[in-house]
A and B are shown apart, each in its own frame.
Chain A
Amino acid sequence: LYFSFDYKFKNLEGYVGFANLPNQVYRKSVKRGFEFTLMVVGESGLGKSTLINSLFLTDLYSPEYPGPSHRIKKTVQVEQSKVLVKEGGVQLLLTIVDTPGFGDAVDNSNCWQPVIDYIDSKFEDYLNAESRVNRRQMPDSRVQCCLYFIAPSGHGLKPLDIEFMKRLHEKVNIIPLIAKADTMTPEECQQFKRQIMKEIQEHKIKIYEFPETDDEEEMKMIRKIKDRLPLAVVGSNTIIEVNGKRVRGRQYPWGVAEVENGEHCDFTILRNMLIRTHMQDLKDVTNNVHYENYRSRKLAAVTYNGVDNNKNKGQLTKSPLAQMEEERREHVSKMKKMEQEMEQVFEMKVKEKLQKLRDSEAELQRRHEQMKKNLEAQHRELEEKRRQHEEEKANWEAQQRILEQQKLDASR
């Protein structure tokens, strides 16, 4: 209505200053601080807690805050730990979501359900917060990345792995990891990786994908990473001295498996990708894709609840309010039609009744006329009879008088 969207490209003839916008954004984001929610899923004993501690170089799970692995569970739990970490002036509120008990039972059917429910409930919380009339700074506790730990069996994905990923790949960014990579040789690992990727493709599982960039250098790096998927990782809480350097690693009689050694495992790639280069993208994909999918499904259900669904498929660009408005209009026109019909029926019935009444009146009138006529006839008849009688009587009386007179005359 107001805008024409053909943009005119203009050249600047001198300094303006909006090239400083990125700095403004930088400054504001540091002031605000950052949040990130990371979910960790896998059977017990795959070194999940150790990996988290290694990734964030902290004792997230310590004697005061024991990790979930130290507790015995009967069913799958979903638990979150929040920590605040600060580095280079940048503050990060990190939420780690654990799923103790996952895959540990004998019968693991539906062990993914608590995970799905958790993720959905966080979407639900965000949706409700976003839909409030009074909105404040919305805390974002949506799960932005799920590290899925695959046991280093060397063969392929387990049915549970496939089932889990298929059910969650459209709700969360899944990054599958081969746990305890130091139990496989590089060749075994290679083969295992290839098998896993093949199965992932076969089952059409959508794992997290790196976004394309225009930067050639970046794309080269991304392609290199893609070749190494899924990443095989090793974690460690202990620091060992190797060649004069203090490194995180696992000490074996035959040597030390170093966590941050790219030839030993893909830990560094994971850390760089997850934290240093793609953390923001993981958040954006969660917000723009996974959350929007949840939201549109939820709102479609709320909006079209009870309305004929066939009519409305493909019309999902409306908002629920617009939908209600349209339903209201439809209803108004339906009522108008109904009113007109009822009016017509009413008029017709009234006409019928009036006609009947008129006919009835006419009939009665006719009968009345008839009766009146009869009566008048009788009257006339009577009058005639009387007249005759009077005439006769008069004649006879006249006669009698004559006779009387005659008699009188005769007697004298």
Chain B
Amino acid sequence: RYVGEGARAVPLAGHVGFDSMPDQLVNKSVNHGFCFNILCVGETGLGKSTLMDTLFNTKFEGEPTQHNQPGVTLKSNTYELQESNVRLKLTVVNTVGFGDQINKEDSYKSIVEFIDAQFEAYLQEELKIKRTLHSYHDTRIHACLYFIAPTGHSLKSLDLVTMKKLDSKVNIIPIIAKSDAISKSELAKFKIKITSELVSNGVQIYQFPTDDESVAEINSTMNSHLPFAVVGSTEEVKIGNKMVKARQYPWGTVQVENENHCDFVKLREMLIRVNMEDLREQTHTRHYELYRRCKLEEMGFKDTDPDSKPFSLQETYEAKRNEFMGELQKKEEEMRQMFVQRVKEKEAELKEAEKELHEKFDRLKKLHQDEKKKVEEKKKSLDDELNMFKQKKTAAELLQNQAQQAGGSTTLKRDKERKK
């Protein structure tokens, strides 16, 4: 994580001047401007917009929403703010309609989709051939303020479900909203209950970093005050001779910036003054990297081949492309084969039909020939009969002729016999 491990250290014989590097870097980032994106998740009416106005000391856009939203939608607004010489492009995203439906099973979905869409947009830009990351407007969510209803009892199941779905995608800072509705003693119990429920459900909330000595102590103290119990107000009330942001009740005035009254100042310190940059960095190096890794793995990219030799980018893309071309060719080949098969089958079918046809006619032909043979036999026998008859007739006629001739003689002979 730190540069320079393993290199040879050499002493300097004087002031070289590279200790200005942090300043050079800071000057560049101040000139470039900063960017921060906050997502506010919480039920309608928990004072999300008011808290944002209070935190950033300005009136942001938006009308209060009704409870009749059919689903959860996300509304985002981007503002240009400037404090001293520091320009900040702040985007505030609100969940509209969260917790208003009867069936809240899908409530978290549009939030997750939104967060993923920002990661996806960044990833697409990062993967482009000609890209402009330096001037890209980063829309990834750097901090998610999760507004917990001040019931005083425990987290709602919707809260646990939602936070569990979000904790690997965004830095979650849970806050107890409208905490002026809870008494001091109830609040302490409430915080303990919430924290233990988060732990037992394995919800990873954002921890203020303690690795840098200059802020380790304050961050570590603040971590123990989570979730922050906040009160928001844009109304001002005169306390002493100052106008302070407060909420006035008949029984007293809740001062927003009074640390005895609520944790607003702690939230502002942690979220903005001390850890804004860390929130942005964590989003980029942890949450985004996780999204990117999953996305690339989904698409079939991997880092090393079985022999543990790391692929170069070119090899990876070429391998992916070859695989993909191979797939396409295979599909093409399959289609061709299918056609060849169909043609073969159809040909066989038609051949079979042809064969049947010829067989049918061969049978008919044979029958016909049999018939013809019979006819011919009949004809022959008739002809024989005719011949025989003719012979008989001829023989008979011959006999008759002989008899006639002899008959004269026969008659004569008979007559002679009589005369005797």
Interface residues of A, Cβ cutoff 8 Å to B: 1-5, 7-22, 24-36, 55-60, 65, 82-93, 124, 127-128, 131-135, 137, 139, 213, 271-272, 275-281, 284, 288, 292, 295-296, 298-300, 302-303, 305, 316-322, 324, 327-328, 331, 335, 338-339, 342, 346, 349-350, 353-354, 357, 360-361, 364, 368, 371-372, 375, 378-379, 382, 385-386, 389, 392-393, 396, 400, 403, 407
A88 CA to B359 CA in the complex, in Å? 106
Which single residue of chain B is at the shortest CB-CB distance from A374? B372
**A-B pairs under 8 A by CB, number:** 330
Q: Kindly list 8 other residue pairs between chains A and B, CB separation below 8 angstroms, not including A5-B137, A22-B29, A89-B19.
A: A12-B81, A18-B272, A56-B16, A57-B12, A132-B310, A292-B130, A295-B129, A302-B314
Q: Report whether A8 and B10 are in contact in the complex, using a CB–CB cutoff of 8 Å.
A: no
Complex A-B: 12 CB contacts under 8 Å: A10-B56, A16-B83, A25-B26, A27-B214, A85-B10, A92-B18, A275-B20, A279-B21, A280-B21, A302-B318, A382-B382, A389-B385
Interface digits, B59-89 against A, CB 8 Å rule (1 contact, 0 not)?
1110000000000001011111111111011
Interface pair B7/A82, CB less than 8 Å apart: yes
Cα distance A301–B267 when bound, in Å?
50
**A60 to B335 Cα, complex, angstroms:** 68
Q: Is the CB of B129 within 8 A of A303?
A: yes
* In contact, B328 and A328 (Cβ under 8 angstroms): yes
Chain B residues whose C-beta falls within 8 Å of the C-beta of A350 in the assembled complex: 346, 350
Residues of A with C-beta under 8 A to B320: 324
Nearest opposing residue in chain B for A59, CB measure? B10
- A298's partner among B18, B83, B117, B314 (CB-CB below 8 A) is B314
A8 B335 Cβ-Cβ under 8 A: no
Determine the chain B residues whose CB is within 8 A of the CB of A83 once the complex forms: 7-10
Cα-based distance from A57 to B16 in the complex (angstroms): 6
Q: Does B278 contact A (CB under 8 A)?
A: yes
Please tell me which one of the listed residues A18, A57, A86, A324 contacts residue B273 in the complex, with CB atoms under 8 A apart: A18
Residues in A neighbouring B293, C-beta threshold 8 A: 133-134
A364 closest partner in B (C-beta):
B361
CB distance from A277 to the nearest CB of B (A): 7
Which chain B positions have C-beta within 8 A of A5? 78, 137
Contact with A85, one of B18, B331, B393 (Cβ below 8 angstroms): B18
Contact, CB under 8 Å: B268 / A382 = no
Partner of B28, one of A58, A276, A284: A284
Using A34-B3, A90-B19, A91-B3 as known contacts, say yes or no to A320 and B56 having CB atoms under 8 A apart.
no
| B17 contacts the other chain (CB 8 A) | yes
Q: Taking CB as reference atom, which chain A residue is nearest B34? A: A21
Contact yes or no, A8 B79, CB < 8 A: yes
CB of A3, distance to nearest CB on chain B (Å): 6
- Among A17, A82, A316, A386, which residue has its beta carbon within 8 angstroms of that of B268? A17
Give B270-322 interface residues, CB cut-off 8 Å to A: 272-278, 281, 289, 292-293, 296-297, 299, 301-303, 310-314, 316-318, 320-321
A57-B12, A87-B19, A335-B331 given as contacts; is B61 within 8 A of A8 (CB)? yes
Q: Which residue in B4, B30, B274 is a CB contact (below 8 Å) of A22?
A: B30
Indicate the member of B80, B312, B314 with the most A CB atoms within 10 Å.
Answer: B314
Q: Which of B154-162, B199-207, B363-371 contacts A (4 or more CB under 8 A)?
A: B363-371
Query: What residue in chain A is nearest B268 (Cβ atoms)?
Result: A17
Report the separation of the CA atoms of residues A133 and B314 in the bound assembly, to the nearest whole angstrom: 14
Cβ B303 vs Cβ A133 within 8 A: yes
